[in-house]
Every structure is written in C-alpha cells, then in structure tokens.
Amino acid sequence: MNQLLPVAFLILFVIIFGVGLMYLASLFGAKGSKSKSHLEAYECGVQATEAKTSKVSIKFYLTAILFILFDIEIIFMYPWALSLNDFIASGSGVYMLGAMGFFLFIFIFGLYWEVKSRALEWE
C-alpha cells in the first residue's frame, strides 16, 4: 500500500492542478463575443468558400495508417539487427533469428495483403 501512495498523490495533484487551471482560465480568460464573424474560419484574408464538413477520401487515412504501421515495424527491426551479433555470441542467436523470421513473415504477409487488396491504389 505504501508503494501506491506516491502514485495516488500524483493523480490527486494532476486533478487539482488541472481543475485549478481551468477555473483560472474561465475567470481571467477573454470573454469574446459570439457573433457570426467570430465563429467562422478565416485564413489569410480569404473568406471560406467550401463547407466546414468537407469530405476527405478514406484513402488518405488508410495510407497514413499503413505508413505508420510499416514505419513502426522498421523501427522494431533496427535494434534487432544491431544486437544480433551479441545474441549470437551469447548462444541465443538461433532463437532471435527465428523470432525475427516470424516477425518478418507477418510483415511480408501484411505487405502482400496490401498489394493483393489494392489498398494503395488511388482509382
């Protein structure tokens, strides 16, 4: 129980600090008018001509998610490649090679699925 006391204190401090900041912001913050011109988007002196709810193709989001997914997989492979010689020297190189082989299999299967399902085509 004594180990959780610092965590409970930190949680309580964050809650009190956050509520205090929100109260101070509402107390001293700007009280702007709610006119229509203040609520509209305005950029570079050009009035907005399109609707605020413009539709963006799902392909943009899919491409971004796939990029992040494969980027994270590459980030996992980099430290493994750097430390493989150390694992071979300690005698567990075959195990690490097998684990990374399984990881690469999943990686290549995902890439195959992307190409097969035409996830990156923009037609």
Please check whether residue 16 lies inside any domain of the structure. Answer: no
Domain enclosing residue 85, as ranges: 58-116
Instruction: Identify whether 122 is part of a domain.
Output: no
pLDDT computed for residue 40 by the predictor: 66
Based on the structure, what is the number of domains in the chain? 1
Is residue 93 in some structural domain? yes
The pTM of this model reads 0.47
- Report if residue 38 sits inside a domain: no
Asked whether residue 15 is assigned to any structural domain, the reply reads no
In a domain, 72, yes or no: yes
Whether 53 is covered by a domain: the verdict is: no
Tens of pLDDT, residue by residue over 13-44, are 999 999 999 999 988 887 766 676 666 666 56
d(CA 54, CA 48): 12
Tokens of 69: 């997914």
Q: What pLDDT is recorded for position 8?
A: 93
Predicted pLDDT at 14: 96
Q: Which residues of the chain have pLDDT under 70?
A: 32-34, 36-54, 123
What pLDDT was estimated at residue 58? 77
Establish if 41 belongs to a structural domain.
no
Nearest Cα to 72, choosing from 95, 103, 96?
103
Return the pLDDT at 72: 87
